[in-house]
């Protein structure tokens, strides 16, 4: 079945540095990738939608300059947390929608970001 | 704004008890409905989904859900839970032709052996 590979699984970084999270679709092409954030004991909050060949669409309240999203190819989408702060510590998950023939979403395994 | 509500945040049951988790959405148009499960330390897995047709949907691991359009609800049920069902359960919705999944706040289920 469809697989989305997300890396890194976990990362610890210092305040003020930037962290890049990658999501690759391994056996299918993903023209769209959804990026979610999950705080402890809370639900997944949609942050933005990346689209191959065009700018990402951000949800209300999400800082575009802080969370840079790039969809470089049909198999790669990246999220860069710039100038990270401890409040950015969270679990980030990407998800690719399927083709129209199969309405199953494919989720990455998630990235646990801890900013110290 | 569209929202998905899961009113039960924590549920504790004994093995063999029946389960029903509530999910309501606030959108009047066409919706597609999903239930996902997240076991401890694992990523989301699809339990079942509803697009159209029979409003009673059967999923994996003995779960089912019923879409009641008049109540804007899609409650998840299982007649007899097992200890291995301990997990967090998320209801999610997409509307019209959008692929954007909107999640509910989740319900943590603890099944005691």
CA atoms within 13 A on the CB side of A46: 24
The whole-number pLDDT of residue A101 equals 43
Instruction: Tell whether B105 lies on the interface with A, counting CB pairs under 8 A.
Output: yes
Instruction: Calculate the CA A21 to chain-centre distance.
Output: 7
Mean pLDDT for all residues in chain A:
90
Instruction: Tell whether B32 lies on the interface with A, counting CB pairs under 8 A.
Output: yes
Angle, vertex CA A44, rays to CA A39 and CA A50, nearest 5:
115
The whole-number pLDDT of residue B6 equals 93
Regions in chain B scoring below 50 on pLDDT: none
Please determine, for residue A100, whether its predicted confidence score (pLDDT) is greater than 60: no
The whole-number pLDDT of residue A8 equals 95
Strands (E), B2-55: 4-5, 10-14, 19-21, 24-25, 31-38, 45-50
Read off the pLDDT of each residue in A75-79 and give the average, rounded to a whole number: 95
Please determine, for residue A64, whether its predicted confidence score (pLDDT) is greater than 50: yes
Query: Which residues neighbour B72 within 8 Å (Cβ) at sequence distance 6 or greater?
Result: B24, B25, B26, B27
Q: Which two tokens stand for residue B107?
A: 């319900």
Q: Which residue on chain A is closest to B50 by alpha carbon?
A: A103
Instruction: Tell whether B72 lies on the interface with A, counting CB pairs under 8 A.
Output: no
Tens digits of per-residue pLDDT, A27-39?
Answer: 888 889 999 998 8
Query: Which residues neighbour B16 within 8 Å (Cβ) at sequence distance 6 or greater?
Result: B80, B81
The whole-number pLDDT of residue A104 equals 75
CA distance, residue B15 to nearest chain A CA (Å): 23
């Amino acid at each position: 079945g469809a697989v989305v590979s997300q890396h890194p699984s976990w990362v610890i970084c210092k305040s003020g540095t930037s962290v890049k999270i990658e999501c690759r679709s391994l056996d299918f092409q993903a023209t769209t990738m959804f990026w979610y954030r999950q705080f402890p004991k809370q639900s997944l909050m949609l942050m933005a939608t990346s689209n191959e060949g065009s700018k990402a669409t951000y949800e209300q309240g999400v800082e575009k300059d802080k969370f840079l999203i790039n969809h470089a190819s049909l198999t790669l989408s990246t999220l860069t947390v710039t100038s990270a702060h401890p409040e950015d510590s969270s679990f980030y998950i990407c998800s690719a929608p399927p083709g129209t023939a199969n309405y199953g979403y494919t989720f990455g395994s998630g990235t646990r970001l801890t900013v110290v | 704004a569209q929202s998905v509500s899961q009113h039960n945040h924590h549920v504790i049951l004994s093995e063999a008890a029946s389960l029903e988790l509530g999910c309501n959405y606030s959108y009047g148009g066409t919706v597609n409905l999903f239930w996902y499960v997240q076991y401890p330390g694992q990523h989301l897995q699809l339990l079942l989904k509803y697009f159209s047709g029979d409003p009673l949907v059967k999923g994996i691991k003995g779960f089912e859900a019923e879409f009641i359009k008049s109540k804007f609800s899609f409650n998840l049920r299982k007649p007899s839970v097992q200890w291995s069902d301990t997990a967090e359960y998320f209801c999610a919705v997409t509307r019209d032709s959008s692929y954007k999944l909107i999640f509910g706040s989740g319900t943590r289920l603890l099944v005691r052996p």
